[in-house]
């Protein structure tokens, strides 16, 4: 009897130890705000089109995208661990927190993206992270699935506004607001589908990341196969106290008669330019340094989209953003940033010229403040504006967007 009790206790202790080595956590962000936008397009002839937007708790959170996630880690021993992350957008918490354009499993005509339900309605949670991986303290980390692009963290490393969703930063410029503001300034994609990513251990302050994704599919069951490939990587340095420096690159290419739906799914930030036989190269370099009283940020980005069939460049854009972030009190923080740059487009820029061609100057600025009620709950205010001013044949044409948001964010 004593031996049986001892054996039962031993099994119970072993099960408890095994359970302690494996954990699953639920986390997320709820971010709601009152957001106001004013978007204005001016043609070369001086005609003005204006669209006003007033939203209460609608769309993405202004400071952070609302989300729900599940994270698991298992200790496999000898420095090896397994992990997974499943994370979903809560794109519209004002209307129930679900439903967006990356909602369901892909089909052959929309590889890596979404599928419309009956009546063209999209339902379900928006896709963010969905990957499984292994980590070794000496060898690094390998992840398989939908992940953020390697270049994404390079760009956000240089943003004082930390990648919020309001006009005025290169990260969000062109991705917020409503028609006719089709500025298309945002230079990167956030996520890569069907990705394989390797992250090295940090050695002498350096961390290296490499990423690839390759997709083969048919536009229909009877056509020749086409495909899309994404590759990228980054190098980060944190070996000096209070300093962070990063460089990154991402490249996407499409072959065959890729459809616009598939293009949108594979590379959202460049979807209108990334149809068949296109090559897109995105590069970025960033740095930030914390002086204690304030932290300064800088990032430079470039995107170039080539039509391989015609041997022409569809988009060539370079933008630099600088910013500063500072604590005013232990619970109040503020930031300010501005960007400047230029782009040349030969398609998909109809708001700047009647011929869809031309060069343009890019400018924008953003101001923000946060008040921390606690470590989890923050009130905020953000204001931003951006301009795209046409040159050459598009001289006099202009796209302007102005927005502000007052909101509340809670993390859990």
Please give the full DSSP string across 1-24, using - where no structure is assigned: -HHHHHHHHHHHHHHHHHHHTEEE
E strand map for 328-357: 332-345
User: Per the confidence metrics, is the pTM higher than 0.75?
Assistant: yes
Q: Tell me, what's the pLDDT at 274? A: 46
Mean pLDDT by groups of 10 residues along the chain of 412 residues: 41 43 91 90 83 82 92 95 93 69 36 32 68 96 95 96 92 57 72 93 97 68 58 96 97 67 44 63 97 97 86 87 97 98 70 62 96 98 92 79 94 96
Q: Tell me, what's the pLDDT at 19? A: 47
Are the beta carbons of 405 and 378 closer than 8 angstroms? no
Q: Tell me, what's the pLDDT at 210? A: 97
**Which residues is 337 bridged to in the sheet?**
323, 366
Phi, psi of 54 (to 5 degrees): -135, 115
Q: Tell me, what's the pLDDT at 7? A: 42
| Nearest in space to 59 (alpha carbons), one of 87, 27, 37 | 37
Q: Which fold has domain 44-56+135-411?
A: Porin (2.40.160)
Instruction: Count CA within 13 A, CB hemisphere, residue 4.
Output: 1
Q: Tell me, what's the pLDDT at 5? A: 40
Other beta carbons within 10 Å of 245? 21
Are the beta carbons of 163 and 339 closer than 8 angstroms? no
Q: Tell me, what's the pLDDT at 335? A: 98
Q: Tell me, what's the pLDDT at 347? A: 55
Are the beta carbons of 155 and 284 closer than 8 angstroms? yes
Q: Which residues contact 8 (CB under 8 A, 6 or more apart)?
A: none
Q: Tell me, what's the pLDDT at 217? A: 52
């Amino acid at each position: 009897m004593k031996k049986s009790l001892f054996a039962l206790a031993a099994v119970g202790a072993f099960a408890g130890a095994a359970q302690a080595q494996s954990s699953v956590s639920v986390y997320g962000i709820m971010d709601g705000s009152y957001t106001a936008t004013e978007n204005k397009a001016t043609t070369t002839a001086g005609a003005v089109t204006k669209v006003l937007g007033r939203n209460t708790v609608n769309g993405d959170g202004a400071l952070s995208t609302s989300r729900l996630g599940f994270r698991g880690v298992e200790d496999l021993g000898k420095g090896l661990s397994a992990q997974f992350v499943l994370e979903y957008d809560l794109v519209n918490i004002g209307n129930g927190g679900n439903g967006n354009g990356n909602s369901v499993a892909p089909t052959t005509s929309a590889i890596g993206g979404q599928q419309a339900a009956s009546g063209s309605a999209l339902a379900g949670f928006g896709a963010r992270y969905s990957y499984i991986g292994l980590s070794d303290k000496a060898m690094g980390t390998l992840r398989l699935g939908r992940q953020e692009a390697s270049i994404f963290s390079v760009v956000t490393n240089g943003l004082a506004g930390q990648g919020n969703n309001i006009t005025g930063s290169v990260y969000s410029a062109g991705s917020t607001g409503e028609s006719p503001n089709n500025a298309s300034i945002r230079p990167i994609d956030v996520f890569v589908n069907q990705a394989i990513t390797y992250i090295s251990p940090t050695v002498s302050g350096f961390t290296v990341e490499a990423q690839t994704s390759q997709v083969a599919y048919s536009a229909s069951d009877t056509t020749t196969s086409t495909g899309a490939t994404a590759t990228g990587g980054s190098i980060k340095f944190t070996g000096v106290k209070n300093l962070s420096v990063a460089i990154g690159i991402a490249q996407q290419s499409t072959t065959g008669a890729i459809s616009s739906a598939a293009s949108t799914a594979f590379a959202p930030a460049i979807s209108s330019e990334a149809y068949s036989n296109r090559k897109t190269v995105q590069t970025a370099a960033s740095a930030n340094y914390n002086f204690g009283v304030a932290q300064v940020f800088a990032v430079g980005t470039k995107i170039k989209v080539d039509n391989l069939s015609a041997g022409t460049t569809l988009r060539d854009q370079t933008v630099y953003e600088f910013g500063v972030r500072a604590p005013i009190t232990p619970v109040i923080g503020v930031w300010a940033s501005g960007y400047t740059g230029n782009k040349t487009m030969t398609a998909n820029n109809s708001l700047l010229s009647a011929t869809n061609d031309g060069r343009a100057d890019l400018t924008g600025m953003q101001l923000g403040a946060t008040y921390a009620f606690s470590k989890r709950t923050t009130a905020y205010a953000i204001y931003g504006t951006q301009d795209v001013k046409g040159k050459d044949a598009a001289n006099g044409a202009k796209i302007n967007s102005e927005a502000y948001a007052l909101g509340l964010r809670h993390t859990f």
